[in-house]
Amino acid sequence: MKKGLLIVLSGPSGSGKGTVRAEVMRRQPFAFSVSATTRLPREGERDGVDYHFITREQFEKRIQEGDMLEYTEYNGNYYGTPLKEALAEINAGRNIFLEIEVEGAMNVKRAYPEAVLIMLLPPSFSEQERRLRGRGTESDEVIQGRLDRTHEEMSFFPQYDYVVYNEDINACADDILSVVRAETCSVKRYPTAHISYFDT
Ligand code: 5GP
């Protein structure tokens, strides 16, 4: 059985990752990895569905035990992808979809080089700022921090496999599902097909 694909959607704050992820998952059911985090649940968020909400001590124990495929510290909280859950899905042949920030995506690529990395970007830097300010939920200082961080995040751009500009949610979902479709047919996934073909 072919292993599933590990698709990583990431991009700077304000790129719309969460919304795009929801649209992609609405159209095609991927195995979605539920991340662990030490931040407190926001209103309406459910433990085990939106995140596994755990304490810093529990998170650090899991890091030490090697039970995080990747993790990062973001705005003072840990966020990470539980390793066993992700590998179980891939090994069962199911495609898994991670929506994480850029540093985490780089860590996934290091730990699992076959991962397919998609960078989601707002149409422009000025539009990113407009979207972040438009949310109206964060202080100027936090917004500035997110914009500053984008410079560093963009330095990893060349290590990504694909880029999708978020001008329209439907077009983004189309592009991402096209990438998944193309990757499914990649010759890289069939390293011995030219030999085993003759046994068929
Ligand atoms: P929020 O607190 O808004 O839910 O998430 C903050 C950031 O953490 C977002 O950019 C989100 O994509 C990222 N994030 C969520 N889960 C993970 C994870 O498991 N690993 C990493 N590296 N980032 C994550």
Domains and CATH numbers, the chain: 1-30+95-200 (3.40.50.300), 33-94 (3.30.63.10)
Residue position matching structure tokens 């992700």: 86
Question: What's the whole-model pTM score?
Answer: 0.88
Structure tokens at 115: 């991962």
Going by C-alpha positions, the residue among 176, 155, 50, 61 that lies closest to residue 105 is 155
In this structure, how many other beta carbons lie within 10 angstroms of the beta carbon of residue 1?
6
Instruction: Compute, in angstroms, the gap from residue 175 CA to the centroid of ligand 1.
Output: 22
Instruction: Compute, in angstroms, the gap from residue 170 CA to the centroid of ligand 1.
Output: 22
Instruction: Compute, in angstroms, the gap from residue 76 CA to the centroid of ligand 1.
Output: 12
Distance, in Å, from the CA atom of 170 to the CA atom of 101, rounded to the nearest integer, reads 21
Pocket test for ligand 1, best of 79, 99, 121, 138 (most atoms within 8 A of CB): 79
For 127-160, what is each residue's pLDDT tens digit? 999 999 998 778 899 899 999 999 999 999 999 9
Residue position matching structure tokens 């076959």: 114
Tell me which amino acid residue 17 is: K
Q: Give pLDDT, residue 2.
A: 86
Q: Give pLDDT, residue 4.
A: 94
Quick one: DSSP state of residue 51? B
pLDDT confidence band for 31 (50 / 70 / 90): confident
Atom of ligand 1 nearest to the CA of 35: 19
Stretch 31-41: mean pLDDT, rounded?
91
Distance, in Å, from the CA atom of 81 to the CA atom of 69, rounded to the nearest integer, reads 6
Decide if pLDDT at 36 tops 90. Answer: yes
